[in-house]
């Protein structure tokens, strides 16, 4: 088996993966141990990116459903498939999702399925569209054009490696995922050097994963960890630092899809055995920026919790784990009551009980309130750079507590009745608690906390295609479309 080379993030001085693995979590962390990011000198391309002087937002969109997607055929960088009618509809919904954003430029893969998606989303905008061949989909060589069943039959062991260990997958003398990561890294200087504040990039599943991964310093072993659905929208913010160092990178949203993220689908063709739905409680207090230790939700927060409970009717929720703070307990209560009431509807329905559990391992408000910089941290929305607003003691306390919470959640998910496969566990807490759980899922270190953003009332979805004992897949983060008129726009005005 070939080992992975060390991974160089596009922005250096950031070692996100953990250098040590807790003994009791070995079974869940082995997948991340093959490549620990190391520190390297800045390359010329990184210096170019570090010179940016204005905040830049980059919105990544995967193309709509294509004819080969529909057939289950491996596309790679081939250019034979085109958008289906469903794919065109998905692209039009994404156009509506982004209609109020004043993009300065659109970079697109030149492959037909991506180019057509970009044209639909771009609409009547007069700004330029720039085709970039480096944004093409992953090169899969002899795999391209095969139905997945044919791939298994023709390339048995290689196909197994592609499914189970894609970073070490070798075909025709190439390592496609490693090549893709290198190519994605080389795309960033061109994207970020463009004189614009808001950039649209329309490309493909694998290359968008690689763009996201290289932006926040994740190596090729993270392929398939950040899901990209057809026409899913992901948002990255690049904020300059006062000292002129590499910009701060924040994954504001991941995989905002035309349909509800709970409406089904798969993780790389595999149904999730278990799910964790991270629900941020609604806005608390008077909506100010003071991180009070334990405030109930205000009226807006109550509305947000009700909207979330309605969205979760797409699932059969078996258990809810929540923080012991007032807003989380309120939100969990609304969700459980709606679930139990829905279970009684219909002639053949029978009442059911949703197990609810409180845990102080999800409490973060006390950590924030003890920090000597807590006045700058909002209880309603975690803004880019929030990690620097907490002192080192608070960051360490947050990280250690979230590690215990994550292990407890996985143990509980593993112990649930095997017959309930496909059921969901809902976890309710403060946005900062859920950011920490996402970072724990990805096996990052505490510095990785600063690379995510969540809003009050949002949901994020983690799936386990191979069960809770194996790595989780992040289906989406910071989804707020269900909040209706109270939702946070996918992109905010610059």
For 56-65, b/e burial (b = at least 16 CB within 10 A) is bbbbbbbbbb
Q: How far apart are CA 195 and CA 67, in angstroms?
A: 36
485 assigned to a ligand binding site: no
269 is in an annotated binding site: no
Ligand-binding site membership of 64 (annotated):
yes
Residue 7, annotated as binding a ligand? no
66 is in an annotated binding site: yes
Residue 113 is labelled as binding a ligand? yes
Among candidates 238, 174, 176, 166, which has minimal Cα distance to 201?
238
Q: Which of 2, 42, 45, 63 is catalytic?
A: 63
Say which of 41, 88, 137, 221 is annotated catalytic. Answer: 137
**Which residues make Cβ contacts (< 8 Å) with residue 119, sequence separation at least 6?**
129
| Residue 18 is assigned to a ligand binding site | no
Q: Are 261 and 94 in contact (CB under 8 A)?
A: no
68 is in an annotated binding site: yes
Residues 6+ apart with CB under 8 A from 322: 328, 329, 331, 332, 356, 357, 358, 359, 362, 427, 428, 429
Tell whether residue 62 is among the known ligand binding residues.
yes
137 part of the active site: yes
160 is in an annotated binding site: no
**Phi/psi of residue 416, nearest 5 degrees:** -65, 155
Residue 164 bears catalytic tag: no
Q: Which residue reads 């909040």 in tokens?
A: 483
CB of 10 closer than 8 Å to CB of 183: no
Tell how far CA 450 is from the center of its chain: 14
Residue 119: Cβ within 10 Å count? 15
* Complete DSSP assignment for 368-380: HHHSTTGGG--SS
Report, as residue numbers or ranges, the catalytic residues: 63, 137
Q: Which residues are annotated as a binding site for substrate?
A: 62-69, 113, 148
């Amino acid at each position: 088996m070939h080992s992975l080379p060390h991974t160089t993030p596009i922005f250096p001085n950031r070692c996100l993966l953990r250098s040590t693995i807790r003994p009791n979590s070995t079974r869940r962390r082995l997948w991340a141990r093959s490549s620990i990011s190391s520190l390297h000198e800045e390359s010329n391309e990184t210096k170019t990116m570090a010179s940016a002087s204005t905040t830049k937002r980059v919105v990544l969109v995967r193309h709509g459903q294509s004819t080969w997607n529909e057939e289950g055929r491996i596309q790679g960088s081939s250019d034979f498939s085109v958008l289906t009618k469903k794919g065109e509809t998905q692209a039009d919904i994404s156009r509506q999702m982004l209609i109020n954003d004043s993009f300065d430029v659109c970079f697109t893969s030149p492959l037909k399925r991506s180019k057509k998606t970009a044209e639909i989303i771009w609409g009547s905008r007069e700004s330029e569209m720039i085709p970039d061949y480096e944004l093409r989909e992953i090169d899969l060589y002899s795999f391209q054009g095969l139905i997945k069943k044919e791939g298994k039959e023709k390339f048995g062991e290689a196909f197994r490696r592609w499914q189970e260990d894609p970073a070490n997958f070798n075909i025709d003398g190439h390592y496609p995922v490693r090549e893709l990561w290198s190519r994605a890294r080389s795309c960033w200087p061109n994207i970020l050097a463009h004189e614009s504040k808001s950039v649209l990039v329309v490309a493909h599943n694998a290359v968008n994963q690689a763009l996201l991964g290289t932006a926040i310093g994740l190596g090729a072993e993270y392929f398939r960890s950040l899901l990209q659905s057809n026409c899913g929208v992901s948002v990255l913010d690049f904020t300059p630092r006062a000292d002129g160092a590499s910009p701060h990178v924040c994954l504001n949203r991941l995989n905002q899809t035309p349909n509800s993220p709970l409406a089904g689908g798969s993780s790389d063709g595999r149904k999730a055995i278990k799910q964790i739905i991270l629900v941020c409680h609604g806005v608390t207090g008077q909506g100010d920026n003071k991180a009070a230790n334990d405030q109930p939700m205000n009226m807006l927060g109550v509305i947000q919790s009700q909207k979330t409970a309605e969205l979760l009717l797409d699932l059969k929720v078996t258990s809810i784990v929540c923080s012991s703070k007032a807003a989380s307990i309120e939100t969990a209560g609304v969700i459980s009551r709606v679930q139990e009431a829905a279970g009684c509807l219909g002639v053949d329905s029978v009442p059911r009980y949703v197990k609810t559990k409180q845990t102080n391992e999800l409490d973060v408000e006390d950590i924030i309130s003890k920090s000597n910089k807590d006045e700058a941290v909002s209880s309603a929305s975690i803004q880019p750079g929030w990690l620097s607003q907490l002192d080192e003691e608070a960051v360490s306390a947050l990280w250690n507590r979230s590690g215990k919470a994550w292990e407890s959640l996985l143990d509980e998910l593993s112990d649930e009745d095997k017959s309930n496969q496909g059921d969901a566990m809902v976890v309710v807490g403060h946005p900062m608690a859920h950011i920490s759980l996402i970072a724990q899922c990805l096996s990052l270190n505490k510095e990785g906390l600063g690379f995510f953003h969540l809003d009050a009332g949002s949901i994020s979805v983690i799936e386990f295609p191979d069960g809770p004992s194996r790595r989780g897949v992040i289906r989406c983060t910071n989804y707020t479309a269900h909040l209706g008129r109270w939702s946070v726009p996918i992109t905010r005005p610059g």
